[in-house]
Amino acid sequence: MELALSEQLKERQGMEKKLQKLAKTMDYLERAKRQEEAPLIEQAFQKRLEEEKILHEQEQLVSSLLFACLYAVQITVGTHFCLLFLLAAGD
């Protein structure tokens, strides 16, 4: 009986050692995977940053063009109003 318990204990200890070794190997593999993926993540971040910069520049350009168009409309309306006023005053 004691011999069987001793065998079971040795077997259990052996399995625990194998499990610890497997866990350590998995940890190394996960760490290697993260290190391998880090440059890819950085590259994707930089690409997204560049896209955001281009989008911002386009939005600024559209905003500037819109402002210029509104200003031109204001000038045109103001000029027409002045011409109408002058024509009315001439009568």
* Full 3-state SS string of 18-61: HHHHHHHHHHHHHHHHHHHHHHHHHHHHHHHHHHHHHHHHHHHH
pLDDT digits (tens, 9 = 90+) for 41-77: 899 999 999 999 999 999 999 999 999 998 888 888 8
So what's the pLDDT on residue 91? 61
**What long-range pairs does 6-12 form, CB within 8 A, spacing at least 24?**
none
Q: How many CA atoms lie within 13 A of 58 on its CB side?
A: 6
Model pTM? 0.54
pLDDT at 85 over 80: no
Identify the residue with better confidence: 4 or 67. Answer: 67
pLDDT digits (tens, 9 = 90+) for 11-36: 999 999 999 999 999 998 998 888 89
Six token digits for residue 26: 């998995």
